[in-house]
Amino acid sequence: MSASTDVQPRLECHDVTVRFGGVVALDSVSLAVPPATIVGLVGPNGAGKSTLFSVLSGLRRPDAGRVEFEGKDITSYSAQGRARLGLARTFQHPEMFPGLTVREHVMLAHRISTKRSRVWTDLVTGRGFRRTDPEEVERVDGLLAALSLSPIGDRPVAGLSLGMTRLVELARALATNPAVLLLDEPSSGLDALETEQVTRVFELAVERRGVSLLLVEHDVSIVLNLCSRIHVLDFGVKIAAGTPDEVRSDAAVRAAYLGDDQAVGKGA
Ligand SMILES: Nc1ncnc2c1ncn2[C@@H]1O[C@H](COP(=O)(O)OP(=O)(O)OP(=O)(O)O)[C@@H](O)[C@H]1O
Ligand SMILES: [Mg+2]
């Protein structure tokens, strides 16, 4: 544990405050996401988790505080500017292009990160999706296979279940080869098998590609199992941070969120 504190974080925020009228959604929140680790962000409904994701990904300017990517202040960067640095996110409520197939979504995302200039032509004409190179095919096929999406690769995303849509969104996010991936409730709407697959894909992304993940997740057992460090928000305030063991035994966390021993054990 001790050495990791000296490592330059990939993504960090310092004293971030966001107000919505009278509501203080985030009150001077700081956290860091080191390279190739999974960091958890948990807290009850309305704690400010999605708001912090919006601040980190550039969709919302904080009223105070700053965001840094590999030590550089990116608080004024747009979401697109941050994406170019290697910051990707998934949404609590995924947005897709209904007419595109599963494979096209993943291929488009991969192409955005590798051959930016061709993407809009491909999207407008539709023909470009057929002109593929072997590296692209290998990466896209690999992601589809890892998430068991190969059998539905040619189906339009319109009409897919929420669980399937989430898997496509995750494949799409990973296809951009992100340095940091922000995941907002990735297991919500997934069944047990899909959840297992998704968590395995997270571990592979960290182990094989060195991706850093910041994970918002209501399933406490997932967070306790996957994350090396966990931050706990309550009413916009960070009430605790530490290893899973430290957070599990933190009195403030128990009172505010986990409730009791059984809640931790069951992953409620
Ligand atoms: N666009 C907005 N306008 C006004 N208030 C907002 C807005 N977005 C969030 N809030 C408020 O800010 C607080 C934090 O909301 P946020 O969505 O970040 O919480 P959360 O931790 O993601 O909750 P959940 O677990 O339900 O997803 C809540 O009180 C919420 O009502
Ligand atoms: Mg949320």
pLDDT tens digits, 18-42: 999 999 999 999 999 999 999 999 9
DSSP string, 100-128: SBHHHHHHHHHHHHH-GGGHHHHHHHSGG
The predicted pLDDT at position 267 comes to 38
- Looking at ligand 1, which residue's alpha carbon is closest to its atom 25? 45
Rounded mean pLDDT, 133-160? 91
For the domain that residue 144 is a member of, what is the CATH number? 3.40.50.300
The predicted pLDDT at position 265 comes to 39
Residue 1, domain member (yes or no): no
Written as six digits, the tokens of 191 are 């069944």
Residue 177, domain member (yes or no): yes
Global confidence as pTM:
0.87
Q: How many residues does the chain have?
A: 268
- Residues 25 and 162: their CA atoms lie apart, in Å, by 27
CA-angle at 98, arms to 96 and 99, nearest 5°: 130
Residue 79, domain member (yes or no): yes
Decide: 205 and 27 in contact? Cβ < 8 Å.
no
Q: Which residues surround ligand 2, an ion (CB under 5 A)?
A: 49-50, 92
pLDDT tens digits, 50-67: 999 999 999 999 999 999
Is it the case that residue 115 has pLDDT exceeding 80?
Answer: no
- Which domain, by its residues, includes 196? 11-266
Q: Which of 18, 29, 31, 49 has most ligand 1 atoms within 8 Å of CB, for mutation? A: 49
Q: Is 242 left (phi over 0), alpha (psi -120 to 50) or beta?
A: left
Ligand 1 centre from 92 Cα, in Å? 12
Rounded mean pLDDT, 127-141? 77
Ligand 1 centre from 148 Cα, in Å? 33
212-216 and 38-42 strand pairing: parallel
The predicted pLDDT at position 112 comes to 79
Residue 16, domain member (yes or no): yes
- Looking at ligand 1, which residue's alpha carbon is closest to its atom 27? 45
DSSP string, 115-165: -GGGHHHHHHHSGGGG---HHHHHHHHHHHHHTT-GGGTTSBSTT--HHHH
Ligand 1 centre from 77 Cα, in Å? 22
The predicted pLDDT at position 263 comes to 43
- Looking at ligand 1, which residue's alpha carbon is closest to its atom 11? 25
Our answer on whether the CB atom of 45 is closer than 6 Å to any ligand 1 atom is: yes
- Looking at ligand 1, which residue's alpha carbon is closest to its atom 4? 20
Residue listed under structure tokens 């550039």: 58
For 34, residues 6+ apart whose C-beta sits below 8 A from its C-beta are 4, 7, 9, 10, 212
Q: Model confidence at 104, in pLDDT bands (50, 70, 90)?
A: very high
Is it the case that residue 208 has pLDDT exceeding 50?
Answer: yes
The type of residue at 117 is S
Is it the case that residue 178 has pLDDT exceeding 90?
Answer: yes
pLDDT tens digits, 212-250: 999 999 888 899 999 999 999 999 999 999 999 999 899
Task: Report in angstroms the alpha-carbon separations of 17 from 29, 66, 89.
Answer: 7, 9, 20
Q: Model confidence at 152, in pLDDT bands (50, 70, 90)?
A: very high
Our answer on whether the CB atom of 51 is closer than 6 Å to any ligand 1 atom is: yes
25 or 135, greater pLDDT: 25
Residue 136, domain member (yes or no): yes
Our answer on whether the CB atom of 20 is closer than 6 Å to any ligand 1 atom is: yes
Our answer on whether the CB atom of 103 is closer than 6 Å to any ligand 1 atom is: no
- Residues 178 and 84: their CA atoms lie apart, in Å, by 9
Residue of 126, 49, 124 whose CA lies nearest to 92: 49
Q: Model confidence at 3, in pLDDT bands (50, 70, 90)?
A: very low
Residue 6, domain member (yes or no): no
Task: Count CA atoms within 13 Å of residue 114 on its CB side.
Answer: 17
Our answer on whether the CB atom of 47 is closer than 6 Å to any ligand 1 atom is: yes
Is it the case that residue 264 has pLDDT exceeding 60?
Answer: no
What percentage of the chain has pLDDT greater than the value 70?
87
Residue 38, domain member (yes or no): yes
Q: Tell me the chain's radius of gyration from C-alpha atoms.
A: 19
Residue 241, domain member (yes or no): yes
Give me the number of domains the chain comprises. 1
The predicted pLDDT at position 120 comes to 58
Query: What SS3 class is residue 172?
Result: helix
Our answer on whether the CB atom of 49 is closer than 6 Å to any ligand 1 atom is: yes
Our answer on whether the CB atom of 48 is closer than 6 Å to any ligand 1 atom is: yes
Is it the case that residue 121 has pLDDT exceeding 80?
Answer: no
Decide: 209 and 146 in contact? Cβ < 8 Å.
no
